[in-house]
Amino acid sequence: MADYILTYSKIKFYPLDPIKSDISIIDIAHALSMMTRANGHFKHFYSVAQHSVNCFKEAKNRGYSERVQLGALLHDASESYISDLTRPVKKNLKEYFVIEEKLQQAIYEWAGIGDLFDEEQKQIRDIDDALLHYEFKELMDISLFDAAPVCSAGHDVSQKEFDSVKQEFISIFNQLTGEAFVNKV
């Protein structure tokens, strides 16, 4: 087999050498809605897409720019093409970071936010960590950090149907980008 994956919308996607025109919000939303957070160790199914939607909502609640909101929504989009690894494993596989960063940058460029400033990237990382802490507190009753990061209340971590999360993800993307993608597959 060649160095590509076949996506949900049947695109031959080369994750090691991504072509921006092959990136699809339908594929990203579909795959992330079917992938679990915490490597599946939460008390119920909770998807990466639902986490990403909550990150978008956190960015919006904090009054961050639409660029940061879109970055928060898409911050794990590379996982739709290369999956994810747990943090302890990932930090020991240096080449994974190179692959992930290249792919994530291609996705950000495709979405029109390839020029995120350092401060905007920091805002996205802070949101990701805040949601990580909140999710573990809500779904495992464990605090990951000694001092809880600031996180607005009310993020929905209940178990949801993957299709409804996928549609919400696409809808938010459409709203932020002015596009009108629909799930046609």
User: Which pLDDT score, from 0 to 100, does residue 153 have?
Assistant: 72
Flag whether the pTM goes above 0.85.
yes
User: Which pLDDT score, from 0 to 100, does residue 87 have?
Assistant: 84
- Residue 130 in domain: yes
Chain centre to alpha carbon of residue 105: 13
User: Which pLDDT score, from 0 to 100, does residue 147 have?
Assistant: 93
Say how many domains are in the chain. 1
Within 10 angstroms of residue 14's Cβ, the number of other Cβ atoms is 15
- Residue 183 in domain: no
- Residue 185 in domain: no
Task: Please say whether the beta carbons of 155 and 58 come within 8 A.
Answer: yes
User: Which pLDDT score, from 0 to 100, does residue 106 have?
Assistant: 98
User: CA 122, CA 43: separation in Å to the nearest integer?
Assistant: 30
Token pair 């002015």 is at which residue?
178
For the stretch 94-145, pLDDT in tens is: 999 999 999 999 999 999 999 999 999 999 999 999 999 999 999 999 999 9
DSSP state of 158: S
CATH assignment of the domain containing 109: 1.10.3210.10
- Residue 133 in domain: yes
Give every residue of the chain whose pLDDT is below 70, as ranges. 1, 181-185
- Residue 184 in domain: no
- Residue 35 in domain: yes
- Residue 111 in domain: yes
Task: Please say whether the beta carbons of 41 and 141 come within 8 A.
Answer: no
- The amino acid that residue 47 corresponds to is S
- Residue 182 in domain: no
- Residue 124 structure tokens: 């996205």
Q: What is the dihedral of CA 69, 102, 86, 148, to 10 degrees?
A: -30
Please report the sign of the dihedral spanned by the C-alpha atoms of residue 56, residue 61, residue 66, residue 68.
negative
Domain of residue 101 covers: 5-177
